[in-house]
Amino acid sequence: MKIEVLGGAREVGGSCIAVETDSGKIALDYGTKLDGEVKKLPKDFDAVIISHAHLDHSGSLLSLSKENPLIIGSPITREVTGDLLRDMIKIQNEKGNFDFDNSQADNIDGCWHTSDSFAVHGMKIQLQSAGHVAGAKITTIQAEGKKVVYTGDFCFHDTEILQGCKYETIPKKPDVLISESTYGGKVRLPRNELIDQFLRQLRFTMKNRGNVLIPTFAFHRSQEMAKRIDTAIDAGVLPRYNVYTISNLANRITGYYNRNKQLFTKEIKQQNSPFNYRHVKHLYKTAQIQEPAIVICTSGFGHAGASLRLLAEWADNKNNSVILTSGYLPPDSPLKSAKENQCFKTAEGETISVKADVQQIELSGHADQLELIQLIAKVKPKRTFLVHGDIEQAEALSEKIQEMTDVCIPKEKEIISV
Ligand SMILES: [Zn+2]
């Protein structure tokens, strides 16, 4: 068996790993780079397994449209991937890039096999829940007497809406564990302390009648954030306030969440339409906002859309705040610049200085260093390949686990025999 990391080697973005035996070849994920670039990846796969719908794991599927690939993933991964691909095409077309249109996304929709257990060319494939986002899976491949486990993006910790991955479900002592390492060098505060910080920041700004901008991804983070604020207002933990989501894409995904509540926590399953919020309103346009307000909107990194517009509008007022809930921000992100340099550039190239309080509170859906070490300690892999993490993060993790497993941080296109 041979394993080749085709994307997501020593970086976050463009995840794709080829697993090849004498009789078959499978891709684990088929993602775009973080800037949305569709990667030129090999196309000769017998099946493509998509761990979850985030575009850095699924976006390059568009380039496979003519091949009618066999795509394996969970039902909600299929639904959300279709929507995210169409959204990506729309954004690219607006930029004048017409490489793809909706016909390719429609074609991809018809290529899925949504089962947790599958065999292709002598390779036995099994999927288990990974935490991270709704529908995310950990993949196990067994072939030629070898066992390979791929984490995709995962976390062990529970969030308010989703249970974390249960390590009992991950097959033990694999020959190779391919693990994400996004936060390989980082230990986060316990989740409840982060939530307290988040609610404190909201209360503080609400007291000053300021606006709060929460840039998020349309998929999962938006629903998690809206549900958290809705529940807090309902319980009297936060005062009543104007709270909005602005993203048609997020609104559509919220619909899937209501129809698939069996994917979520016990509390969510018991509610009727858990994602029909009582105190959070969906708006179509920023012009409909009644200030002061808390606004959850896209894009998650502030590159475009309502989040960039509201950042430009609200940055100048020290009573306003911006809450970044992602730990990772790409180097060219306006939000990163707003946080680190107290200024950023608008789409028109205007530089705006930032007086608003920009806080980063990492309510991440990824495992942190402690969870990653726990994964190695419980699963006991013979060899571990670290992917989906900047080299500093992967190296920091490697140092912590090298006495438990044989660690490798593969380079792109490095072929490793198993
Ligand atoms: Zn992800």
Beta strands in 8-116 (DSSP E): 16-20, 25-28, 47-49, 71-72, 112-113
Residue 81: per-residue pLDDT:
98
- Of 5, 73, 3, which is closest to residue 41 (Cα–Cα)? 5
What is the Cα–Cα distance from 401 to 398, expressed in whole angstroms?
A: 5
Q: What are the φ and ψ backbone dihedral angles of 394, each rounded to 5 degrees?
A: -65, -40
CA of 132 to the centre of ligand 1 (A): 7
CA of 304 to the centre of ligand 1 (A): 20
Residue 331: per-residue pLDDT:
83
CA of 50 to the centre of ligand 1 (A): 11
CA of 52 to the centre of ligand 1 (A): 7
Burial category of 365 from C-beta neighbours within 10 Å (exposed 0-12, middle 13-18, buried 19 and up): buried
Strand pairing report for 117-120 and 123-129: antiparallel
Residue 142: per-residue pLDDT:
98
CA of 266 to the centre of ligand 1 (A): 23
Helix (H, G, I), strand (E, B) or coil at 389: coil
Question: Per residue of the chain (418 residues), what is the pLDDT tens digit?
Answer: 999 999 999 999 999 999 999 999 999 999 999 888 899 999 999 999 999 999 999 999 999 999 999 999 999 999 999 999 999 999 889 888 889 999 999 999 999 999 999 999 999 999 999 999 999 999 999 999 999 999 999 999 999 999 999 999 999 999 999 999 999 999 999 999 999 999 999 999 999 999 999 999 999 999 999 999 999 999 999 999 999 999 999 999 999 999 999 999 999 999 999 999 999 999 999 999 999 999 999 988 888 889 999 999 999 999 999 999 988 888 888 999 999 999 999 888 899 999 999 999 999 999 999 999 999 999 999 999 999 999 999 999 999 999 999 999 999 999 999 9
What is the Cα–Cα distance from 408 to 219, expressed in whole angstroms?
A: 32
Residue 304: per-residue pLDDT:
85
- Report the CATH superfamily, name and number, of domain 2-186+365-417: Ribonuclease Z/Hydroxyacylglutathione hydrolase-like (3.60.15.10)
Question: Crossing angle of helices 75-94/102-109, nearest 10°?
Answer: 170
Q: Which two tokens stand for residue 177?
A: 């564990």
CA of 120 to the centre of ligand 1 (A): 25
CA of 98 to the centre of ligand 1 (A): 26
CA of 233 to the centre of ligand 1 (A): 28
Q: What are the φ and ψ backbone dihedral angles of 351, each rounded to 5 degrees?
A: -90, 130
What is the Cα–Cα distance from 67 to 110, expressed in whole angstroms?
A: 12
Place of tokens 């989740």: 191
CA of 162 to the centre of ligand 1 (A): 14
- The answer to pTM > 0.85 is yes
Q: 319 with 210: CB under 8 angstroms?
A: yes
Q: 109 with 78: CB under 8 angstroms?
A: yes
CA distances from 152 to 50, 107, 139, 237 (A): 9, 24, 8, 35
CA of 365 to the centre of ligand 1 (A): 8
CA of 122 to the centre of ligand 1 (A): 29
CA of 200 to the centre of ligand 1 (A): 27
CA of 373 to the centre of ligand 1 (A): 19
CA of 318 to the centre of ligand 1 (A): 33
CA of 56 to the centre of ligand 1 (A): 7
What is the Cα–Cα distance from 49 to 72, expressed in whole angstroms?
A: 5
Q: 155 with 367: CB under 8 angstroms?
A: yes
* The CATH fold of domain 191-360: Rossmann fold (3.40.50)
Residue 221, amino acid:
R
CA of 277 to the centre of ligand 1 (A): 25
Q: Is the peptide bond before 299 cis (omega within 30 degrees of 0)?
A: yes
CA of 335 to the centre of ligand 1 (A): 19
- Of 71, 53, 127, 63, which is closest to residue 92 (Cα–Cα)? 63
Residue 326: per-residue pLDDT:
86
Where exactly does CATH 3.40.50.10890 map onto the chain? 191-360
CA of 138 to the centre of ligand 1 (A): 12
Q: Which two tokens stand for residue 281?
A: 């309103």
CA of 55 to the centre of ligand 1 (A): 8
CA of 183 to the centre of ligand 1 (A): 13
What is the Cα–Cα distance from 308 to 310, expressed in whole angstroms?
A: 6
CA of 5 to the centre of ligand 1 (A): 17
CA of 359 to the centre of ligand 1 (A): 22
CA of 68 to the centre of ligand 1 (A): 24
Whether the CA torsion 355, 360, 363, 365 is positive or negative: it is: positive
CA of 154 to the centre of ligand 1 (A): 8
Residue 34: per-residue pLDDT:
84
Query: Using CA atoms in the order 84, 33, 69, 44, what is the torsion angle rounded to 10 degrees?
Result: 180
What is the Cα–Cα distance from 197 to 191, expressed in whole angstroms?
A: 10
CA of 317 to the centre of ligand 1 (A): 33
CA of 265 to the centre of ligand 1 (A): 19
CA of 133 to the centre of ligand 1 (A): 7
Residue 332: per-residue pLDDT:
85
CA of 375 to the centre of ligand 1 (A): 18
Q: Is the peptide bond before 42 cis (omega within 30 degrees of 0)?
A: no
Query: Using CA atoms in the order 49, 50, 55, 60, what is the torsion angle rounded to 10 degrees?
Result: 20
CA of 293 to the centre of ligand 1 (A): 29
Whether the CA torsion 227, 228, 233, 234 is positive or negative: it is: positive
